Structure 1
Amino acid sequence: MSEGLNTLYRYGRFTFSRRGDMVLILTVSLLLTLLLLAWGYQVKAACGGEPYFPDGRSHRWPVGDPNAIVPCYSDLMYLWVGRDINNHVFPYIHGGIGADGQLFGGVVEYPVLSGLLMWLGAIGANTDLQFFQHSALLLAPFGLAITIMLAVLTRWNVLWWAATPPLVLYAFHNWELPVVATTVAAVAAMAWGASLHPATGERRWSLRTSGIVASVLLAIGFCLKLYPGFFVLPLAIYVLTRGDGAPVVAGARKALDWVGAVWVAAAAAITVILVQLPFMILGYDGWKAALTFQGKRRADVDTNSIWYWGLRHLTGGQNDTYNSLVGVLSPILIVASFALAIYLGWRVYRNGGAYPWLGVCAAMLAGFMLFHKVHSPQYTLWILPLFVLLRIHWSVIVAYLIADLSLDLTIFRLFGILTSGAPMKWWVIGGVNLGVWVHAVLLVYLIFGFVRAGMREPLASIGRRPAPEEPESTPVPAPV
């Protein structure tokens, strides 16, 4: 481990061979992560506890303490009832979707690996609080692993991840940490492959090998929450264009590596098939039901999207016109934003730079979060590591996090008000709109800004050989 860390920093513009500095960064960031995870656990656990209904649902759910500053709502506890998780039914195999759009028989509306984690979290649990506790134990190691990888790749910039509110708000809100871990691990795999071996001075892995390993990790992420699968295309283009290390012969463009790009795409496809195939064979109806559920989902008040808080006012409410427009515009604009991000990255390459695969990935994610009909608050955990890995100005990150905090502190209170029929509070509706629209403006900016932003140090310099030192010049005696 120590040899690897030294290697990552020895061959770059920054010398980072002092192990003490890395130990300090890791210690501080891990302690802060543990502190925020413990805080987040306490906040969310407040929604559970005695007394319980016969199905194990706490009487305190879903409000908990209505006067708490941070709402206790968590999707982890919500999923305990209604998906047969409380009945310990293995997911997807026996279920389906009814005519009313409700899932049954163990089917959950998530990709198969997330459903499998939920089933594991329910083992031995008889109440929603126990399910939450078991799930938190499964999720916490992923949060710590993300911190370690980001600390090694970006040094003190890891604090944007380890010392900001999203860990408290969302670490135990839903099953985001595993999928975020796969994305960061893919970046770490690319960095490790590019690092120079101390004995040979050459890359540890070829670019093809690094790309294939990273694509497998992204494919696993796709089987957790879909979005990492989008990143395979920019990664394949990066391998296609031979990264930033291919020689240029007589001023010609770099020869494109079509074989390597195909291998990257094929590795991701094979991984997805291998993960999905057992569920498709053993319970095709249940596996398909999860996809059908997402396809039928509408942009309602609980989706926090620009569609509900914007387009709805132009169509006179959630009528047929509204639903039809969202159904058409959302996928079209998502695909258009993907195409724009890929084009912007290609333009960087055509102008003589390396294809900015990570910046393009981040821009694609920004487009997806902006135009998708569902924009859950916990998606902030998706984009936050990309703020850490890419050189986004601190003011943009702070504005995004403030808007996110405003949204989280108000949207779950809004749900309670709508459920109870109580009068709406101006600051609740105002806080939700502030969060939604500031996010929207920033995501538009980030579609362009991510592609232009380079990677942070020392990630940006991994694999770059230091320039040869110039020999000391001999002083010339002054004329007499």
Structure 2
Amino acid sequence: MRSGQRTSMATMVAVVALCAVTLALGYFNKARCAVAPFLDNGRSTAFDTVKDSWVCYSDIQFLWLGRDIDNHVFPYLSGAITPNGILTGGTVEYPVLSGLLMWLGAIPSHTDAEFLLYSSALLAPFGLLTAWMLGRLAGKPALLWSAGPPLVLYAFHNWELPVVATAVGAVFVMAFRIPLRTRGMLAAVLLAIGFCLKLYPGAFVLPLLLYVAYGGNGGRELPHTVRGRFDIQGAIGVALAAIGTVVAINLPFAVLGYEGWRASFAFQTLRQADITTNSIWYWGVRHLYMSDSMTPEDYLRAEASFQDTVDVLSPLLVFAAFGLALWLGLRRMKVEHAYPWIAVSGSMLCGFLLLHKVHSPQYTLWLVPFFVLLRVPWALVGAYLVADLSMGIGVFKYFGALAEGSDSTTEKFFVEVGVWGRAVLLVVFFFVFLRARLRNPGQTHPANADDLVGGSDTATSTTETRRNSPTR
């Protein structure tokens, strides 16, 4: 990194300190649901009473019961899934590393309040690390992560902070001044760890692989041994690093407790696009299958048909969106001579969030780092955060109104604003990301940067000479 471009100490202190304050606010917001008295099973009696109306619900507190977390059962090894989709024997519905974090948070816990506290203490360092890395990478825009509403609402809603840290960590590693192949494989390992936490970073290996294959910025980081325009060996190394990491992490669980390990994936496959999923499938496509005049039998058939459609169309469209983003990245590369792997990763994430059958509120934390790293209009970012607030608050108010049997028209309106506001903006960001440059290109990977970040000046000069020689 150029010394003149490094983030000031004052900015870094502000970014990390504000993140600490925001994380504390996020914890205290959730802790309102976790107060005495407690039932014999450790459940706070306040949880079921106020979790929706006070907007203090968290999956962390909810999952204290029902997954043998309260019994301190080591996850997956003795687990399974019943034919009707109920997890048993300590299996949780997340990849294995998230399951381990849940187990660690439960070790000293005897109530759901303690589980929330210890889990938050376990997760908070990942939020601070993400703030620090974003501050180093982008400077003041990192304040969006540190002091934005999503961190208050969702930091301790679920186990998202570690996976976001791995995704940002991959970008951070790519800013190191070490050979492209090496840092590409290190980034792939981090993305693979992210895959073992919450899956989505695994998709980013594809654009990273292409960035390495094309030799970084303008092909200037192609190794001397490469005869041609593409570093196939480097791309294979990235792929093998990711695959090897995933296998190494999952293999012990798959061998020692295959049924429990498989059950976590089966649970997500069996999950339906219902009122809890907040997706365009439930709030939009489902209406095409339903009518008020249906008999109960017709309703059940229509519901089954709808779910079957979603099970097929959702993954197909997600993969189609991935393919489109990768292809548009190739078109941009032909003009700028560097594959825009960060921009393409952000676009792929937008496609996933829009088209997957589940769009949980906390997924916004996945997206915020791309708002920080990529030069996109702040007005669009603000609009997305407003739509997210409408969803993140409105959906729980809506559930509360439904549970009380009271009029839910207003709450439903805010949910729909959130669902469709986010959906429209995800379509916009899908294409905006693909054209966006980095907010601070001198501090991240070298695409679109005047200087080369990664590799020595000597290696760059030598490779440039070889590129322009007749032997090419």
Measure the CA separation in 1 of the matches of 2:355 and 2:425: 13
Measure the CA separation in 2 of the matches of 1:43 and 1:133: 12
Counterpart position of 1:56? 42
Counterpart position of 2:424? 441
Give the TM-score normalised by the residue count of structure 1.
0.88
8 Å contact kept, 2:219–2:337: no
Counterpart position of 1:305? 279
Q: Write out aligned runs for 1:372-383 (5 A).
A: 372-383=356-367
- Pick which of 221-230 and 318-327 moved more: 318-327
Measure the CA separation in 2 of the matches of 1:364 and 1:206: 26
- Pick which of 29-38 and 130-139 moved more: 29-38
One-letter code of the match for 2:245?
Answer: T
Measure the CA separation in 2 of the matches of 1:295 and 1:187: 30
Measure the CA separation in 2 of the matches of 1:66 and 1:172: 16
8 Å contact kept, 1:246–1:254: no
One-letter code of the match for 1:431?
Answer: F
Counterpart position of 1:42? 28
Q: Say yes or no: does 1:255 pair with 2:229.
A: yes
Measure the CA separation in 2 of the matches of 1:177 and 1:67: 25
Q: 1:385 aligns with which of 337, 354, 369?
A: 369
Measure the CA separation in 2 of the matches of 1:377 and 1:66: 14
Instruction: Give 3-state SS (helix, strand or coil) of 2:245's partner.
Output: helix
Counterpart position of 2:256? 282
Instruction: Give 3-state SS (helix, strand or coil) of 1:266's partner.
Output: helix
Counterpart position of 2:2? 9
CA deviation vs aligned residue, 1:346-391 (integer Å, no higher than 9, x gap): 0011234311011111111100000000000000000000110111
Q: Say yes or no: does 1:359 pair with 2:333.
A: no
| TM-superposed deviation, 1:254 | 6.7
CA deviation vs aligned residue, 1:154-183 (integer Å, no higher than 9, x gap): 010101111110010000000000000000
Q: Write out aligned runs for 1:18-417 (5 A).
A: 22-64=8-50, 68=54, 71-192=55-176, 204-247=177-220, 255-316=229-290, 319-417=303-401
- Pick which of 299-308 and 238-247 moved more: 238-247
Measure the CA separation in 2 of the matches of 1:130 and 1:155: 36
CA separation of 1:219/1:406 partners in 2, compared to 1, >3 Å: closer, same or farther? same
Measure the CA separation in 2 of the matches of 1:254 and 1:404: 47
Instruction: Give 3-state SS (helix, strand or coil) of 2:85's partner.
Output: coil
Counterpart position of 1:195? none
Give the TM-score normalised by the residue count of structure 2.
0.89
| TM-superposed deviation, 1:100 | 2.0
8 Å contact kept, 1:63–1:72: no
Measure the CA separation in 2 of the matches of 1:93 and 1:162: 37
One-letter code of the match for 1:163?
Answer: A
8 Å contact kept, 1:223–1:272: yes
Counterpart position of 1:476? none
8 Å contact kept, 2:171–2:445: no
* Number of residue pairs the alignment of both structures matches: 435
Counterpart position of 1:431? 414
One-letter code of the match for 2:260?
Answer: G
One-letter code of the match for 1:76?
Answer: I
Measure the CA separation in 2 of the matches of 1:282 and 1:418: 43
Measure the CA separation in 2 of the matches of 1:247 and 1:16: 22
Q: Which has the larger radius of gyration?
A: 1
RMSD: 1.8
Counterpart position of 1:197? none
Q: Mind listing any 5+ residue stretches in structure 2 that lack a counterpart? A: 291-298, 453-472
Q: Mind listing any 5+ residue stretches in structure 1 that lack a counterpart? A: 1-7, 193-203, 467-480
8 Å contact kept, 1:247–1:254: no
One-letter code of the match for 2:369?
Answer: P
CA separation of 1:385/1:63 partners in 2, compared to 1, >3 Å: closer, same or farther? farther
8 Å contact kept, 2:215–2:221: no
